[in-house]
Structure 1
């Protein structure tokens, strides 16, 4: 089989979505094959031959891996396009309620369940859903490549139309081929590490391309669903979506994120938002050519119009340019104030103090348009702009500041020693340390010495940036201060103390912009267990209660999926996360504090990745409560938000799932605690943890891990702005979660997504007998949490491959350790496959997930071959001496990492 004869027909048989898969994939394959014939004819008969899995000539390594990676990229674009077609077709034939997870579908279900309009109105009023784009180094694509992907997607959309003549259709095909050719010539590997500034541009790319436009459309989809299913009720529709970002705010382990860089980034996010608003208000001026001579001026609009003109600083000029056009006058005045807010030196207008001032002016215009009989114009033209203001403000996304508790505590110690020279400082997190912090929090702010150590000076400067942002045009420009590796209430109080030193906490009560919320991040199993007493302690502190009152008695808590998984394995991690949420929600109820959870998920199953709707639906009852934040990392951002249609669908699915859980979870049987189920999960979690710990505590495990994966070489892959370093370590504690998951994914062990489950279930049944087997089947049928765990484990087992894993294990020089450790992995894999199939009643993995299985079966031969090439390259790279010979091997080795990650759908 070669590039001339290969067909996607066998891999994508007719069935779900009909022949659309075949049509799109064969088109892309044909064009890709044509590019190969011209650019690299030696690849014909190599790249797409599943049987050609052995060695390839040295000169073809880079182009072969590059083209395999490009095929995976094209495959993802095609799947996205076809899925969008399928949703449109389904809605056309069966109506909007038929799209599972959409607002129309969810609100229809809520209405059928008898939820009253008042209850729905109250739930929506306090709702907030916040996707958060992080700077985690899990995305290899440059903005240039993303732009090419976007154009390819748009051309596929254009080709869906039947209106084109054969000549026009052929021109579109040529354009598509040209973009694929450009993708080849551009190359995917970064030649240099991206700077923080480039990462900011990467994040803003998605706002410019899709998110500014599509996020308000999600709110309109909610409004339309409410009109359809609650036609007799006037239910206000607040913009329940907001955006946050960690890019240029996450300094945990990244010395390039400094106070000046954060200040610069805040300016870039602000400029982007205000530039967008200038464009949107200019569009309103262009379209709303309504004459007072025709409709008259509504009585209650005359004063707002006069006030707006006065604030513009050029009332006479505006009226003279737009005589009688009252709405144009109004929006020209608004535009002048937007320009002044953006810092336009030519503007004479009064800048807006906050985005709320602009939103109120837009609401006034909406009401005036309704008053003159132009309600549709108000809804179609002005309301989306108001929603943009309410969603994005003058900030685009609220920038979170993240720092590690170790740095925070060192900063407190350094400042305290300068204030109290010669006085011994207590040891961190001892009673004496805590007493010192408590005393400092109630004392007047001392004069802070100027000669602080560099780290402490930088930390204090960062808090000064946060303080200054409070007085800017958008006081919410900095969203929160996140403390990673929170281990005690004293860690969090140290953040409040630095904030006090920086002037973020006024000495006296009164009107002021409250400091951003301080959010603990509980990451390890031990920290999750300790979270309840930590928060109870924190809520007793006067300064914390005072700050929370200013924010409506809401406390956000971040939960880490990655480190807890590394700590305890997949099942134990997920169970401890679920239990922690329930305990913390109860703490909030007892202390009359509304607890809101921030889920630190990644793209892979091991780091909390799961289908959005199902993941939210499986959260414990009462733990969402209308408020949810989650991280969107690396490749997840581009897969969800690179294209307008997919972005709209993904955002609606996210927001609608929160609405559904908030309103339905208290009464859902699948989420109600069943003591027998909880006892079984507790037992399974403990058994799974014991099995997982036996593996990771094996003598020689870290040496095995370093040798049997490309984790050491990952440092050369220029994913993010963090400094390159060798990820190989001598102890588990030295390893960060991302390289831990990355390596086990690349070598197809994937132990982070399933290890321990098989032994846990088998041991449980051995003790409990037939009753245990019956209970597991019952839990799979009735317990939403357990079913999600089993389903995601089953998918991970499908991707894992013990034959490929054995090839990586062969790289381990210590034969005894190799046989012992890989023998454990292979044995547990067999046990877990058997036990999962017994629980589900299946005969083969992932048959129940046809779309997932179809893609897996298609890409598996190419991923497998990429793995075999990578094993060969790792051996050569490690054997080569430093110098040109080694460098020649590095490029194809790095491409193999990208290639395998592209086929799997995630890096880590």
Structure 2
């Protein structure tokens, strides 16, 4: 579920609006269906007229579908439900946005937990001065990193139609429209709904990386540039409303910085389609869109800065810079200089436009090489306007462009390159074999031997071979990609190039191997005889065991001379006061490995320990959170997630992934996008300042250690049980998901049909479809009840802390997420899917284990909440109650089709089975839409 669904705003403002908007959309949709001859489908739409918000209404009539699985009406009913769930999501999104506006117009917004006003007011109340807060704001940097693999179940064209419908819904609220104009808007909404219906959601072909980048470019190049000014205004409004001096925000560098990252085109882990050419193409596409946006924005600014010589004296600084730019740009500058004679500020902006780099070619004389050069010119422009007394023009005209360049530069988003450590091992082994080294099986060497070789090789700039790409397929892939990055650094500097991320980092050698491969590609330099890498090498700690070993690995890595030299070079280039080491932590594989409690507590412990390691080395730790869109993969209310991080883990800097459908849920519309970015930036400010005043942990860490141990033990009892993989393969639609076309990347890392090889995303997706969601709650019930039995006082201390007004955020976040995960599971639907398991002994034993833990978890959580979860958590209950009855017939159809499809495949009738696959995929899409999440 989306974070905004459980907003803390009053139901009194949001719920009537949701009902009103949902009725408007559903009535229009029903009319469209009837007008095009789909009466049978229109009759079976959920939430029929007369519901009036009563979610307990009997839906037996609209859920009465034909029994024949081949009846086309059934398939169209499934698709209509999918559309209906999307419309419900839009109604909820709009209602929550409007309710926030209503509350803000009527009084303080401090009640909106996590908002700018809430954070600023609380900080002031707790003793921070406005000057201290303003100084901390300048340190705040937030970087969402967009990924596409493989969770987005909607086509790009479908996303477009949904955005149009949302915009029309918002437009229809304007009270200025005449009745005729309002009718016209309704007809436009119906036309958009008809386009959506006639488009369909099933992807006929597996998407390409290029297609996925097209979706990401929409958000990076269009939505976020529109959103950031809204975010800035939200901060200014909150700043004034809490009584702070607006002058403290005058300098644009005293504002938070929001930048963006991208994994599409750079994430190579188990993705054979991401070739060096694709990475180079991705970088070019990102740069081209960034330059195009800047050229347009500078052109609009130039049109406004028509200040003439007849009204003001030109400051010498402007004249000097104009003259220098004209000389550097040569004859090409003549037209730009002569275009607006007598308007020097406009001429200056014309020169800036001319000096923008060509994204498809090498640097040219007089052109900007790095965005910091354009920022310097914008600061000259602003300073000369302030010198005239035109501060308003500096703030309103130049300030937004300055902020745009700070956020997007000449690259739009930083592109990370990620690869698995095992893939690197094979690449190194191929280089060793090509160099005719005995025993070249690098992967099988012990850690001391691996580190010894890497240290010896890194001491020399001499590569193994002049063309390492001929050593083997893995070597060619890695070195080819790193050569693309090396060329980019040589031509344009490191801007726009993110981290070299090593999945499944198990030891120091996994990181040093990247340095070695970078040497082979010419990315490493030896300025003072010590190797220096211009890009950060970043470990990714994913499993529970990896998280436990992370501090020791980080210690050894920061001790290494190549790392120290590289961090110092990166610090000088960035102009910061301390070197920064980025570390990525994975929520997906840790949750898959150990369950919710062990994963979240393991992440907390690992981050705390790594902060201490970094501090000992004088290094600032930048934690990169690899979160997904579901609770099992680290999702949860944004403001609570940020608060739950350990002290020091967010030191002015928050980097996190936004994956799949989460991107469109959070950022498809400007108001919602601004609010979600506000939660991230305000939360980062709050965490940064409060880190100096450690919060009371109520003595709970030892109890959390016990819970993590007991919960993981119980969770592994399920995963390690005899027949588990057979149960999972048959009781969930994992085989359908692996046959789907919703992402360009394979569902498995190497194609082996093992639990270890299966990616966490489809793992969670399959459990979600069949409503087990075991990775979101399984194990916590046993752990809590064991604690209550063995240590009643400790259990009561934990429960009291959760119930208290002022709680310990990590505990609050964990218990709330587990309760939401359990509420999303459905005992009856689990049992229905388990009926697909053919081995009755395996079915009964493992379903019994799951249902037993389900009951334990419900009992334990209700003991903490002191009552039924549905009563104690009414917002979550309402969200699920709206969707649950409408999902029932889709689950029933999916189970029916799974049985047919699997039987045909088992009989070798693949051609007949393939005819049912689109219908199965339609149920997958519809259930994902209803639950608001895939993997």
TM-score by length of 1: 0.94
1:659 is aligned to 2:685: yes
Alignment partner, residue 879 of structure 2: 855
Following the alignment from structure 1 to structure 2, what is the Cα–Cα distance between the partners of residues 728 and 318?
57
- Match 2:410 to one of 369, 389, 394: 394
CA distance in structure 1 between the partners assigned to 2:474 and 2:511 by the alignment: 18
Q: After superposition, give the CA deviation of every residue in 1:614-640 in whole Å (9 maximum; x if it has no partner).
A: 110111122211111110000000001
Q: How does 1:532-551 map to 2 (within 5 A)?
A: 532-551=551-570
CA spacing shift, 1:617–1:457, aligned 2, 3 Å = same
Residue 3 (structure 1) aligns with: none
Hey, what's the Cα distance between the residues in 2 that align with 1:566 and 1:70? 31
The counterpart of 1:183, out of the listed 185, 191, 196, is 196
Q: Report if the CA contact (8 A) 1:53-1:868 is conserved.
A: no
What RMSD in Å do the two structures reach over aligned CA positions? 2.4
C-alpha distance in structure 2 between counterparts of 1:297 and 1:688, whole Å? 71
Structure 2 CA distance for partners of 1:488 and 1:878, relative to 1, 3 Å: same
Offset, 1:100: 3.3
User: Using a 3 Å threshold, how does the CA distance of structure 1 residues 104 and 775 change in structure 2: closer, same or farther?
Assistant: closer
Secondary structure (helix, strand or coil) at the match of 1:177 reads helix
Between Structure 1 and Structure 2, how many residues are aligned?
A: 890
Match of 1:472 among 491, 501, 504: 491
Q: 2:747·2:759 contact (CA, 8 Å) conserved in 1?
A: no
User: Which region of structure 1 is more displaced relative to structure 2, 766-775 or 387-396?
Assistant: 766-775
Asked if the contact 2:382–2:394 (Cα under 8 Å) also holds between the matched residues in 1, the reply is yes
- 1:720 is aligned, of 731, 743, 748, to 743
Q: Distance in 2 between matches of 1:618 and 1:752?
A: 20
Matched, 1:241 2:255: no
Greater CA drift, 216-225 or 544-553: 216-225
Q: Is the 8 A contact 1:626 1:658 kept in 2?
A: yes
Distance 1:216 1:164, change over 3 A: closer
Q: Determine if contact 1:90/1:99 at 8 Å carries over to the other structure.
A: no
Contact 1:394 1:473 in 2 (8 A): no
Contact in 2 for aligned 1:36/1:43 (Cα 8 Å): yes
Going from structure 1 to structure 2, the CA distance change for 1:712 and 1:851 (only over 3 Å counts) comes to same
Instruction: Give yes or no for the alignment of 1:515 onto 2:534.
Output: yes
Deviations 1:224-278 (A, max 9, x none): 5456643186354244211111000001011000001100110000000000001
Q: Is the aligned partner of 1:404 residue 2:420?
A: yes
Q: Could you say which residue in structure 1 is the equivalent of 2:7?
A: none
Select 2:23's aligned residue among 22, 26, 31.
26
Quote the residue 1:699 is aligned against. 722
Matched, 1:557 2:557: no
Which residue in 1 is equivalent to 2:450? 433
- In the TM superposition, residue 839 of structure 1 has moved relative to its aligned partner by 0.6
Give the drift of 1:601.
Answer: 0.5
Q: Which residue of 2 aligns with 1:385?
A: 401
Secondary structure of the 1:492 match is helix
Quote how far apart the aligned CAs of 1:574 are.
Answer: 0.7
Contact map agreement 2:802 2:864 (CA 8 A) in 1: no
Q: Distance in 2 between matches of 1:227 and 1:260?
A: 50
Residues 886 and 361 (structure 1), Cα distance of their counterparts in 2 relative to 1, 3 Å cut: same
Residue aligned with 1:667, SS: coil
- Most deviating of 465-474 and 44-53: 44-53
Cα distance in 1, alignment partners of residues 660 and 836 from structure 2: 29
Pairing 1:752–2:770 present: no
CA deviation map 1:778-809 (0-9, x unaligned): 35533221121111111111111110100000
Counterpart in 2 of 1:300?
Answer: 317
Q: 1:153 aligns with which of 147, 166, 182?
A: 166
Q: 2:642 aligns with which of 592, 613, 616?
A: 616
Shift of 1:773: 3.3
Whole-Å Cα distance in 2 between the matches of residues 18 and 683 of structure 1? 40
Q: Which residue of 2 aligns with 1:4?
A: none
Aligned to 2:345: 327
Seen in structure 2, the aligned counterparts of structure 1 residues 425 and 826 have a Cα distance that, compared at 3 Å, is closer
Deviation, 1:107, is 2.0
| Cα 1:874–1:316 shift into 2, 3 Å | closer
Q: 1:91 to 1:727 in 2, by over 3 A?
A: farther
Output the CA distance in 2 between the equivalents of 1:896 and 1:66.
8
Shift of 1:853: 2.3
Q: Work out whether 1:230 is the aligned partner of 2:230.
A: no
The alpha-carbon deviation at position 468 of structure 1 amounts to 1.2
How far apart, CA to CA, are the structure 1 residues paired with 2:120 and 2:933? 33
Structure 1 residue 907 and structure 2 residue 934: aligned? yes
Report the alpha carbon displacement of residue 98 of structure 1 after superposing the two structures with TM: 5.2
Matched, 1:772 2:795: yes
User: What pairs up with 1:495-510 in 2 under 5 angstroms?
Assistant: 495-509=514-528
Matching residue within 29, 34, 40 for 1:37: 34
1:641 alignment partner in structure 2:
667
Mean CA deviation greater in 516-525 or 445-454: 445-454
Q: Report the 3-state secondary structure (helix = DSSP H, G, I; strand = E; otherwise coil) of the residue aligned with 1:765.
A: helix
More displaced stretch, 489-498 vs 321-330: 321-330
Distance 1:762 1:311, change over 3 A: same
**Aligned mate of 1:808, from 825, 833, 843:** 833
Between stretches 309-318 and 265-274, larger displacement belongs to: 309-318
Instruction: Give the distance between the partners of 1:906 and 1:804, measured in 2 at CA.
Output: 17
Label 1:429 to 1:645 Cα distance change in 2 as closer, same or farther (>3 A): farther
**CA distance in 1 between partners of 2:532 and 2:335 (Å):** 36
The CA deviation at 1:495 is: 0.6
After the TM superposition, which residues 667-678 of structure 1 pair with which residues of structure 2 at under 5 Å, given as runs? 667=693, 669=695, 672-675=696-699, 677-678=700-701
Q: Relative to 1, partners in 2 of residues 1:332 and 1:770: Cα closer, same or farther, differing over 3 Å?
A: closer
Q: What is aligned with 1:144?
A: 157
After the TM superposition, which residues 14-413 of structure 1 pair with which residues of structure 2 at under 5 Å, given as runs?
15-17=12-14, 19-39=16-36, 40-48=38-46, 50-51=59-60, 52=63, 55-57=66-68, 58-95=71-108, 97=110, 99-117=112-130, 119-223=132-236, 225-226=238-239, 229-231=243-245, 234=248, 236=251, 237-313=254-330, 314-338=332-356, 340-342=357-359, 350-413=366-429
Greater Cα shift, 512-521 or 277-286: 512-521
1:192·1:718 contact (CA, 8 Å) conserved in 2? yes
Among 865, 880, 893, the alignment partner of 1:840 is 865
TM-aligned CA deviation for residue 374 of structure 1: 2.2
Shift of residue 755 of structure 1? 0.5
C-alpha offsets along residues 181-228 of structure 1, whole Å, 9 cap, x if unaligned? 110001011111111111111100112331022125424543554566
Please state how far the C-alpha of 1:125 moved relative to its aligned partner.
3.7
Alignment CA distance shift 1:69-1:453 (3 Å): same
d(CA) in 2 for partners of 1:53, 1:562: 38
Structure-2 change in CA distance of 1:894 and 1:775 (3 Å): closer
Shift of 1:123: 2.8
Work out whether residues 418 and 452 of structure 1, in 8 Å CA contact, stay in contact via their aligned partners in 2: yes
Q: Which whole-Å CA distance do the structure 1 matches of 2:364 and 2:456 have between them? A: 49
- SS of alignment partner, residue 472 of structure 1: helix
Q: Against the structure 1 CA distance between its residues 837 and 650, is the aligned structure 2 distance closer, same or farther, given a 3 Å change threshold? A: same
